[in-house]
Amino acid sequence: MSEYVFFNGEYIESDKAVIPVRTHAFLYGTSVFEGIRAYYNKEEKQMYAFRVKEHYQRLLASAKVMWMNSPYTLDEYVDITKELLKKNNYKTDAYIRPTLYKSSIKVGPTLTDNEDSFLIFTTPFGNYFDAQNGLKLCVSSWRRTSDNAIPPRAKVSGAYANSALIKTDAHEMGFDDAVVLSESGQVTEGSAMNIFLVINGVLTTTSITDDILIGVTRNTVIELARELGIPVCERSIDRTELYNAQEVFCCGTGAQIVPVESIDHRIIGDGKIGEITKKIKSLYFDVVRGKTDKFKKWCLPVYD
């Protein structure tokens, strides 16, 4: 039996969820989406979906940029997600992909006078990267789209042509992924993940006004660092600061917390996972599986 998806207001089997070829979102990339993870806790036999509300808050913010009228409220999105996960009844970690899209059958890119529809699919999901011990990155020759072109702050599917070029070219050159610079030459993020550097003991990440997607995981890392008493700084970062950082790691719903071993063939620190990265990573994996009391507020239990 195929998995259930939420499509046109119903929970149906995924092979029955079909979109017409002339759908606006397919023609022009006019959809906004989220990637959410749910973690299975074997001891509790419980599935925890992580920071679901925060993801839908961002979906609604992306929708506003793209002239979309949301068909559901924030609470309804959370309930639908929980119900769908329950129906799919995973006993393993999973990935949830909600998409709000322009669904009119229409030629021409205009966003107004254009219907908005919503769907979610889910799938079992493991690690996004094989290299959990350390990524080999390059600085991409592509630039991140700017806030005044295709705003990275909104998670728009069409914008992922930029990520696809960045990631594919990095792969073809033998790297795991790439760090992307903004049009003005500042560090932004990876192809689909935010970046943190340890500079003189301070956990440093790019400013939210430097053309990044403001990651839910990025915020989680900042909160966890505060909990661990690690100083945090959000500011613009130059390319060469990457090479001289004591530690670098990337983070995102897909990537989770993944250390960086080298950038442009320069070994980061001593090439091993740094102490701060280790501490954050270890706490993160406890938090997402609902194993800490303090941060259980971020974990939505799926099974009753």
Ligand X SMILES: Cc1ncc(COP(=O)(O)O)c(C=O)c1O
Residues lying near ligand X in the complex (CB under 6 A) are found at 35, 163, 189, 192-194, 213, 215-218, 252-254
Distance CA(290)–CA(7), nearest Å, equals: 29
Query: What number of helices (H) and strands (E) belong to the chain?
Result: 7, 17
Q: What's the min distance (Å) between Cβ of 189 and ligand X?
A: 5
Q: What angle do CA 25, 104, 145 make, to 5 degrees?
A: 30
**Residue with Cβ nearer ligand X (100 or 114):** 100
Give least dist CB 95 to ligand X, A. Answer: 11
Least distance between ligand X and beta carbon 159 (Å): 8
Q: How many CB atoms lie within 10 A of CB 20?
A: 9
Q: How far apart are CA 209 and CA 145, in angstroms?
A: 13
Sign of CA dihedral 146, 181, 34, 203: negative
Q: Which is nearer to ligand X, 164 or 228 (CB)?
A: 164
To ligand X, the closest distance from the beta carbon of 9 in angstroms equals 26
**41, 65, 252 from 255: Cα distances, Å:** 19, 26, 5
Measured from the CB atom, is 182 or 253 closer to ligand X? 253
> So which residues are the catalytic ones?
155
- Of 82 and 218, nearer to ligand X (C-beta) is 218
